[in-house]
Amino acid sequence: MAFRQPYVDYASLKELEGARLIFPLIEYSYRDVDLMAVSQGPSLEHFLGTDRQGRDVFTRLIYGTRISLTIGVVAVSIYTAIGLVLGSLAGFFGGRVDNIILRMIEIMMCFPVLFLILTLAGFIEEPSIFHIMLIIGLTGWTGIARLVRGEFLRLRNQDFVQAAIALGFTRARIIFRHVLPNAVQPVFVSATFGVAGAILIEATLSFLGVGPANAPSWGQILTSGRNTQQMTLILSSGFAIFVTISLLNLIGEGLRDATDPKLRK
């Protein structure tokens, strides 16, 4: 008998007469504990086995997909927003504003990103997913800012920008309404690569013991496999990270080839 407490009692639901029910393929939650199936290998009941707490690895791996992708997307969204604003201001105004923002970019680039993240995470007593997303977002904006700045330097002397200035439009409208929509095309390509990088950074932090301890992210599963020497945990989470990052990189390369006229045959 399994000593687990599922959120839904599937056994009692199956005994209902005349009810049309569709059950999931895996009747486990990522928190369910089966004390009679601790550290088991793959089986029909547990496709990828269980960990030392008796939790289903396959269920945690699937749930970790949402955690890892959320961390990647939200972190990239944060530093993309910061990079868009700072890069737009630097490229449009130039002069002293450009010099100040460039110095900020150079200072940020002088520090190794991973060590900077580890330093910031060291001040947090109980790191959570939100902290990881925020730290990655606050440290990864330099590439986006430089990219947007270069696009603004190329576009600010175009005829449509000079016409908008001659018509008396406000600077905010010219920047965010006219110039920025024409400068964000390369940003989407960079953001795609950034999601893959953020997932890899989260896995690295969790592997080093800095990430959230309870969230079933791929990095946390990989860390559990290292601590318990369970190859099922290591191989499953490592394969998920490898496949996801490879697919995101391929998508980024496809977007780059599709949006850059110089790369078209």
Q: Where are the beta strands (DSSP E) in 138-190?
A: none
| Span of 16-25, 67-76, 121-130, 190-199 with lowest mean pLDDT | 16-25
- Alpha carbon distance, N-terminus to C-terminus of the chain: 63
The two three-digit tokens of residue 112, written as one number? 């190794």
Q: Please determine, for residue 1, whether its predicted confidence score (pLDDT) is greater than 50.
A: no
Of all residues in the chain, the percent with pLDDT exceeding 90 is: 7
Q: Please determine, for residue 61, whether its predicted confidence score (pLDDT) is greater than 80.
A: yes
Q: Please determine, for residue 255, whether its predicted confidence score (pLDDT) is greater than 60.
A: yes
Position 171 scores a pLDDT of 85
Tell me which residue has tokens 């270069």: 150
Give 85's contacts (C-beta < 8 A, 6+ positions apart): none
**Per-residue pLDDT band at 259 (split at 50, 70, 90):** low
Q: Please determine, for residue 82, whether its predicted confidence score (pLDDT) is greater than 90.
A: yes
Position 9, amino acid: D
- Bigger pLDDT: 254 or 21? 254
**Per-residue pLDDT band at 265 (split at 50, 70, 90):** low
Would you state the torsion angle of the CA atoms of residues 151, 155, 157, 163, taken in this order, to the nearest 10 degrees? Answer: -150
Question: How wide is the angle at C-alpha 114 spanned by C-alphas 62 and 131, nearest 5°?
Answer: 55
The two three-digit tokens of residue 73, written as one number? 């997307």
**Per-residue pLDDT band at 3 (split at 50, 70, 90):** very low
| Span of 23-32, 135-144, 175-184, 237-246 with lowest mean pLDDT | 23-32
pLDDT digits (tens, 9 = 90+) for 138-158: 888 888 999 899 888 888 888
Quickly list DSSP for 53-79: T--BHHHHHHHHHHHHHHHHHHHHHHH
- Bigger pLDDT: 153 or 126? 153
**Per-residue pLDDT band at 212 (split at 50, 70, 90):** low
